[in-house]
Structure 1
Amino acid sequence: MTRQLLVLGATGAVGRGVVAAAAASRRPVLAVSADGAGLRALRARHPDADLTTIAAPLRSEADAAALAVRLRDRALCGVIATIGTEAARGRLLDQPAEVLRRTLDEDLLPHLFAARHLFPLLPRHDRGTGYVLVGGPGGEYPWAGYGHRSIAAAALRMLARVLHDEAGRAGLRVQLLTLDTPVRSDGNHAHACAEWPLAEAVGRRALALLACAPARGAAPAVVPYASAPDLTSSEVEVATFAAAHAEGAADTAPELRDARALLDAIASTSPDSRTTPR
């Protein structure tokens, strides 16, 4: 059975970037979102991709349990969770407490619901399998005008650390990829800043985290997007190849040795010495 990459929140800006990056590296994708129209647009945008869509909400424990039931007969190679909503701008002190409560309900708790019910569906002790959450800006320093989002982002960091610790003891790698800025996408190109990363570039980075654990030491729970060089689609393909062949492959296989050597070289190269176009 073909193993699929599960993308949660696939119709959001980052989710679309993850799907685009996965399609470019020819990975089978299972895209989940409550936005049926957005899923249809996603299929139309990637007509040649191995893309399956599921319209399903993730607003509650019951939603996550129902999704897990629908996925229990599928073989998953990992999960990238890009759950989040757009929130209005405004000072925290000027808004009713309901705004913060709703932000936590929409941007934080669905990650816990999903993790609780999807972790059991993933293989353990597999170098190419993991669970990557993607978090927005404001988690480390307050984002002016979006204090409610900053609080949710900070809480997501701690949730990721807790999940990383608890799931790691059972052989499942959990990491959070954090962004310092919004992303550039087809929906905001008119006002996006030049320094914002492209959504597909964020998708490639998330895929690289998922595909292969660090060559040395334990995988960190929180990985800032800006702390590592960007990866091209071909480099993600190399990481995917190595992960797919690591399970049960002989260490003497020359292709696997070459792939691992290239991954080690990528991991040890500083961003300043790279020549990959941005």
Structure 2
Amino acid sequence: MSAALVILGATGGVGRGVVRAALDRGHPVVAVARHEGALATLAREHGDADIITVPGSVASDAEGAALAERLRDLRRPFAGIVASVCGGGSKGRVLDQPAEFLRRRLDEDLLPHLAAARHLLPLLAEAGRGNYLLIGGPGSEHPWAGYGHRSIGAAALRMLARVLHDEARALDVRVNLLTVDMPACTGSNRKHASSRWPSALAIGQQAVALIERPPPDIPVVRYTPPAPTGHAPAPHDVSTSFGPDSAPPPPDSCPSLVAVRALLGRFSSTGSKKDISS
């Protein structure tokens, strides 16, 4: 029996991209989500693909433990686990909200990742194989205007991933975080999504690549857009497809730098000796 890839949050926007990417790579999938109706729809979308649906949640320790037992009952090996778990939340300033608002957001956005890791990492350790990947959203390094609570949660998830990466060594399981520094283009927001936003499938492809070939000592990996056609790195080669958390973004990806270069270019092309400050 082929080892399956367990995908938490499989019916979410990014989770669907991970499911498709995993199936495209020939991985059997165990899709986990809260709502059985959404899981049934997901299974129908993939026809005769090797996909098993398991209703479950990791919103608390008790639910995480129950999910672990359901997965054990499947009696099949797992190649890895991808946790695409993200809560919702309205837009607004953190200063305009009571402290309880942030507490609730962390309860819904961050702590499920801990509950999942506590109860599902042992599944991989028992099997003696498999890698564990968390997927994080934007705002972890710089405040996301209007979504400060999401920035705080994303920054906390980055640290949680580093801690899990270190502590999971004792279990002989590798934990990584794929952090995506901008919103994802999904089926629900495609009409108003920016052309710069990565698709859920592109994120899923990099997530599957990290499960297949995780970097040895890099806990946090930044999502990087696929290379242009004709310049693509070797398929699923983490060393060329991803950059470590500390790697700066490509200079041309920063609009302000592009604008400065264009301005300097205009001055140099005119040959003017006029003082720039004027």
- TM-score when normalising by structure 2: 0.79
Q: Distance in 1 between matches of 2:156 and 2:143?
A: 13
The residue aligned with 2:3 is 3
The residue aligned with 1:166 is 167
Count the aligned residue pairs. Answer: 241
Q: Distance in 2 between matches of 1:33 and 1:142?
A: 29
Q: Distance in 1 between matches of 2:54 and 2:95?
A: 39
* Counterparts in 2 of 1:5 and 1:219: CA distance versus 1, 3 Å: same
Which structure 1 residue ranges, 5 or more long, are not aligned?
240-262, 273-278
* Counterparts in 2 of 1:231 and 1:220: CA distance versus 1, 3 Å: farther
The residue aligned with 2:118 is 116
Contact 1:79 1:130 in 2 (8 A): yes
The residue aligned with 1:223 is 221
Q: Are 2:182 and 1:184 equivalent residues in the alignment? A: no
Matches within 5 A, 1:123-138: 123=125, 129-138=130-139
Matches within 5 A, 1:12-161: 12-72=12-72, 73-123=75-125, 129-161=130-162
Secondary structure at 2:171 match in 1: coil
Cα offsets for 1:187-235 (capped at 9, x unmatched): 1111100000000100000000110134xxx330000102x74699xx9
Shift of 1:123: 4.4
Shift of 1:86: 1.8
Shift of 1:48: 2.5
Shift of 1:5: 0.3
* Counterparts in 2 of 1:91 and 1:181: CA distance versus 1, 3 Å: same
The residue aligned with 2:263 is none
Contact 1:160 1:174 in 2 (8 A): yes
Q: Distance in 2 between matches of 1:40 and 1:68?
A: 21
Shift of 1:124: 7.5
- TM-score when normalising by structure 1: 0.79
Contact 1:184 1:198 in 2 (8 A): yes
* Counterparts in 2 of 1:144 and 1:42: CA distance versus 1, 3 Å: same
Q: Distance in 2 between matches of 1:207 and 1:236?
A: 16
Which structure 2 residue ranges, 5 or more long, are not aligned?
244-248, 251-278
Q: Which amino acid aligns with 1:186?
A: G
Q: Distance in 2 between matches of 1:47 and 1:198?
A: 22
Contact 1:9 1:15 in 2 (8 A): yes
The residue aligned with 1:249 is none
Q: Distance in 2 between matches of 1:114 and 1:74?
A: 19
Q: Which amino acid aligns with 2:222?
A: P
Contact 1:104 1:152 in 2 (8 A): yes
* Counterparts in 2 of 1:150 and 1:238: CA distance versus 1, 3 Å: closer
Q: Distance in 1 between matches of 2:76 and 2:62?
A: 20
Shift of 1:169: 3.4
Contact 1:205 1:231 in 2 (8 A): no
Secondary structure at 1:71 match in 2: helix
* Counterparts in 2 of 1:90 and 1:78: CA distance versus 1, 3 Å: same
Secondary structure at 1:14 match in 2: helix
Shift of 1:2: 2.5
Secondary structure at 1:169 match in 2: helix
* Counterparts in 2 of 1:231 and 1:134: CA distance versus 1, 3 Å: farther
Q: Distance in 2 between matches of 1:230 and 1:22?
A: 20
Secondary structure at 2:157 match in 1: helix
Q: State percent identity of aligned pairs.
A: 51
Q: Which amino acid aligns with 1:188?
A: N
Structure (1 or 2) with the larger CA radius of gyration: 2
* Counterparts in 2 of 1:28 and 1:97: CA distance versus 1, 3 Å: same
